[in-house]
Amino acid sequence: ETQSSSLQIFIFGKDWRSKVHTWVQQPFRKIRRHQTRVEKAKSVFPATIKSLKPSVHCMNQRFNYKLRLGRGFSLKELRAAKIDKNLARTIGIAVDPRRKESSKECLTRNAQRLTEYMNRLCLKSVSVKIVLTRDVSK
């Protein structure tokens, strides 16, 4: 701005105090959201809060050197990791049947990502509980 410009004059009228909105609670809400995220992550550990997504390359020549998370794993990637597509959705793996694989590196990277996730995952099935209760009763 130039030096000759006048200062801005604020004319509020008579009832301006009731229209003022403060954000005093914002930092406390941030802390509370963080605490709830941490508690939720602890409660579902070793599983993840969000579903597992594949790593894919960004679109266009400008960004295609970057990796980002995609919408879901392709059916080829699930077959490479020996996971059924119906089971994958129930254990927190995102599936996108429309996706086509363009490179073998991407397919192997995501298949490895799936196998690592399956090794970390602890599945609790109903049939195992029934077998254990029968063994205990004998």
Q: Of 49-58, 97-106, 120-129, which gets the smallest average pLDDT? A: 120-129
Give the tokens for residue 126.
């109903």
- Structural domain contains residue 12: no
Q: Which pLDDT belongs to residue 136?
A: 47
- Structural domain contains residue 87: yes
Q: Which pLDDT belongs to residue 134?
A: 47
**Cβ pair 121, 47 in contact under 8 A:** yes
As a whole number of angstroms, the distance between CA 80 and CA 64 comes to 24
Owning domain of residue 88: 51-120
Give the tokens for residue 52.
């597992």
- Structural domain contains residue 90: yes
As a whole number of angstroms, the distance between CA 39 and CA 37 comes to 6
pLDDT category at 60 given cuts 50, 70, 90 is very high
- Structural domain contains residue 86: yes
- Structural domain contains residue 132: no
Q: Taking the CB of residue 57, how many other CB atoms lie within 10 A of it?
A: 16
pLDDT category at 1 given cuts 50, 70, 90 is low
Total domains in the fold of the chain: 1
Kindly report the average pLDDT of the chain as a whole number.
86
- Structural domain contains residue 40: no
**Cβ pair 76, 96 in contact under 8 A:** no
